C-alpha cells in the first residue's frame, strides 16, 4: 500500500462529514443528568411536559442526532459482521487455542478494527487477551 499518495476525494469527504458530526455533538449540551431528573416526572400518559432553553448548538445537534446515531449503529453492526475471527489454519502445537485471524482484514485476532470498536463501545472486559 502506498502511503505517500494524497488522500482520495471520497475518503476526504467522509472524514470531513465525520469530523462535522463530532464537532457538532461536542458543542451540544449533555442531557444525561437532566434526563435522569426528568425520568422521575413522567406522567400517566408516559410524557414529561418541559420548558427549556435550547442553544443554537443544541438545536443543530438534535436535528440530526437520531439519523446519525442510527447510521453509526448500522455502521458498527456492519463492521462487526465484517471483522470476526476465523481459524487461521496451519499447524499448531496448541490445538486448544488455535491461531485466529480476522476473516476480513487478516490481522491476528482481535484485529485493529475490532479493537478500535471495542475501545469505543465495549468495556475492556469484552476484549479477548491478545496472545
CB of 22 to Zn ion, least distance (A): 23
CB of 11 to Zn ion, least distance (A): 18
* Phi (first) and psi of residue 4, to 5 degrees: -95, 5
In which element (H, E) is residue 126 found? none
In which element (H, E) is residue 102 found? strand 100-102
Judged by CB, which is closer to Zn ion: 61, or 114?
114
d(CA 108, CA 94): 16
CB of 102 to Zn ion, least distance (A): 3
Cell numbers given for 68: 446519525
Judged by CB, which is closer to Zn ion: 61, or 83?
83
Judged by CB, which is closer to Zn ion: 1, or 96?
1
Residues of this chain that bind Zn ion (CB under 5 A): 83, 102, 104-105, 111, 113
Amino acid at each position: 500500500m502506498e502511503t505517500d499518495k494524497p488522500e482520495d476525494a471520497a475518503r476526504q469527504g467522509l472524514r470531513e462529514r465525520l469530523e462535522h458530526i463530532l464537532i457538532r455533538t461536542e458543542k451540544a449540551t449533555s442531557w444525561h443528568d437532566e434526563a435522569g431528573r426528568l425520568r422521575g416526572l413522567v406522567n400517566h400518559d408516559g410524557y414529561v411536559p418541559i420548558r427549556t432553553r435550547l442553544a443554537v448548538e443544541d438545536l443543530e445537534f438534535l436535528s440530526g442526532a437520531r439519523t446519525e446515531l442510527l447510521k453509526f449503529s448500522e455502521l458498527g453492526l456492519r463492521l462487526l459482521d465484517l471483522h470476526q475471527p476465523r481459524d487461521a489454519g496451519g499447524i499448531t502445537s496448541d490445538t486448544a487455542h488455535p491461531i485466529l485471524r480476522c476473516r476480513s482484514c487478516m490481522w491476528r485476532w482481535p484485529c485493529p478494527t475490532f479493537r478500535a470498536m471495542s475501545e469505543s463501545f465495549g468495556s475492556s472486559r469484552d476484549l479477548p487477551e491478545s496472545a
